[in-house]
Amino acid sequence: MITAAGPHQRTLPLQTLVDRDGTEKPLLRILLEEAFCGKIEQAAVVVLPGDEVPYARAAGDLAGRVRFIPQKEPRGYGHAILCARPFTGDDPFLHLVGDHVYVGVDGRRCAEGLIEVAEREQCAVSAVQGTRENQISRYGTIGGQRLPGPVNLYRVDTVIEKPTPTEAEQQLIVPGLRAGHYLCFFGLHVLTPAVLDLLEADASGTVSLSTALAQLARREQYLAVEEQNRRYDVGVKYGLLQAQLALAFAGPDRPEILSRLVELLASEPRA
């Protein structure tokens, strides 16, 4: 399930990028290809009312495997996820945000490893990444304890949405991380129906996913896996450019792109 109904987010999944295979694709198409890995065969995309047609066009020949669900009220990110409940039903589901590009470092889809962990552990699992203190105000951030074993897996104790450095220092220190670093959401989750129950219970005002996940951590096992892959937020300044470069560097055209960048830098007039 992909969320794309934010007022400042709605056009981002329609932007065209050149994927790592050298093919021009809308970001939505790249996200759907990320989602349709392993056992996943159907997807839902939560959109603003009226955006169903352009989104279906961006999905191309994958549109037949996608349900476009309008979020009729602007009640926030958590409410957008809740809108997809008729689609997800009583099953766990993979969730991706519509304004990120995910780039695997080992040739695998980023979602594949997360799904494997969720199936093995039989619980909700979020992908997280070590993030410098000066950037945590952009992300949901977890506090927890590393579990023994070869995989960087953490038991989540709490979640705070876009914390201040003071909040992070007081509540989100994770033993073993570098000083000044915290575990922030990567934008990929495998969520369970229990999360939707908690979102549904928040009937007043804006519905917050981070609040629901913090409650989930107090009720049942909820894990986070630290990603070595990379994610790029296309909604920030130069975000699309950074995501495009990352995709280019991850594909077979990397030498050509590097050569062009060197030529571009060499042609810049000196001050």
Global pTM exceeds 0.85: yes
Residue 200 to residue 211: CA distance in whole angstroms? 12
Look at residue 81 in the predicted model and tell me its pLDDT: 95
Q: Which of 34, 28, 30, 19 is nearest to 253 (CA)?
A: 19
In this model, does residue 50 exceed pLDDT 80?
yes
pLDDT tens per residue, range 87-124: 999 999 999 999 999 999 887 899 999 999 999 999 99
Look at residue 39 in the predicted model and tell me its pLDDT: 81
User: Residue range 148-163: average pLDDT?
Assistant: 93
pLDDT band for position 149 (cuts 50, 70, 90):
confident
The 3-state DSSP composition of the chain as helix, strand, coil percent (nearest 5) reads 40, 25, 35
Look at residue 195 in the predicted model and tell me its pLDDT: 95
pLDDT tens per residue, range 161-207: 999 999 999 999 999 898 899 999 999 999 999 999 999 766 566 77
Burial class (CB in 10 A: 0-12, 13-18, 19+), 81: buried
User: Residue range 74-93: average pLDDT?
Assistant: 93
Residue 225 to residue 6: CA distance in whole angstroms? 26
Q: Which of 39, 224, 160, 12 is nearest to 97 (CA)?
A: 12
Residue 40 to residue 70: CA distance in whole angstroms? 22
Give domain 2-127+187-205+224-267's CATH superfamily: Spore Coat Polysaccharide Biosynthesis Protein SpsA; Chain A (3.90.550.10)
In this model, does residue 264 exceed pLDDT 70?
yes
- Those residues whose C-beta lies under 8 Å from the C-beta of residue 101, and which sit 6 or more positions away, are 17, 27, 30, 231, 232, 234, 243, 246, 247
Look at residue 200 in the predicted model and tell me its pLDDT: 78
pLDDT band for position 224 (cuts 50, 70, 90):
very high
In this model, does residue 227 exceed pLDDT 90?
yes
pLDDT tens per residue, range 116-145: 999 999 999 999 999 999 999 999 999 999
